Amino acid sequence: MRSSANPVFRRIEKNCPEQLSDVKLASFKGVAIKSLILIMIAITAGIAAPFIFTAIPGALIPVAIAAGLGSFIIVLIGMMSVKMAPAMGILYSLVQGLFLGAVTAILDPIVYENFGFSNLGMSALIGVGAIFGIMFALYYFGIIKVTNRLRGILIGSLLAVFVVSLVIMITGATTTMFNNPGLAIAFSVLMIVLGAFFLTLDFNRAAQLVEMGAPAAYEWQVALGLMVTLVWLYVEILRLIIILVSRNR
């Protein structure tokens, strides 16, 4: 088994058995299947969300809390425990699908009534799919190579955005910022670009798992990480669409 310089993968290597003859190994097909399962759970939950919350109006608040605060804990558990990763991945996809499906269903008629634009959810999904396809092609053909430098730049940029966003919230400058369409669009585009490049980190993680001969159980962790990035992209694309259509009123 090839040794990795990445501390996360060093931990995986340490936990992997030395003799893997009787252990099913991670594969790209396995990662793809598990990722597709999580995506389909999220989409199905999103489609069902308006009907569920219409029947049970009070359920939206606890789901919103779970999607916000709870999702961080869900992802943390899934990334730390390979045994819990399947359950956490399914739970994360279900909760996020329900919440984002409900939010999209609430926003869609409002945006249509005020700005004449409909099908927010489908537009955002198409955007996510397009970005995923483009970034996968760029990674697959070696146009974008994931290096330690790129990884450091992306993580540093994300931390910088988080700190700036926190400062803006604390100082109460959020309203001022998003009342400026130019700043709001620039911020959304920046977040989408970051999310797109984080997809390449997910692709690279899958490749490293397969290359090092990790057990197939770790495929769920890769699928969960990919799902987190896709949800991030969906939210940011949805935000950008709303900003753009409101600007062109």
Nearest Cα neighbor of 80 from 133, 1, 15, 153 is 15
Whether 154 maps to a domain, the answer reads yes
Whether 69 maps to a domain, the answer reads yes
Question: With contact defined as beta carbons under 8 Å apart, do 30 and 219 qualify?
Answer: yes
Query: What is the span of the domain harbouring residue 97?
Result: 24-247
Whether 10 maps to a domain, the answer reads no
pLDDT digits (tens, 9 = 90+) for 42-51: 999 999 998 9
| Residue 22 banded pLDDT, cuts 50, 70, 90 | low
Look at residue 69 in the predicted model and tell me its pLDDT. 82
Whether 13 maps to a domain, the answer reads no
The share of the chain scoring above pLDDT 90, in percent, equals 58
Tell me the residue type at 52: I
Question: With contact defined as beta carbons under 8 Å apart, do 16 and 214 qualify?
Answer: yes
| Alpha-carbon gap, residue 220 to 225, rounded angstroms | 9
Whether 9 maps to a domain, the answer reads no
pLDDT digits (tens, 9 = 90+) for 114-143: 888 888 999 999 999 999 999 999 999 999
Quick one: tokens of 232?
């991030």
Structural domains counted in the chain: 1
Burial of 51 (0-12, 13-18, 19+ CB in 10 A): exposed
| Alpha-carbon gap, residue 41 to 230, rounded angstroms | 13
Whether 179 maps to a domain, the answer reads yes
Whether 15 maps to a domain, the answer reads no
Whether 17 maps to a domain, the answer reads no
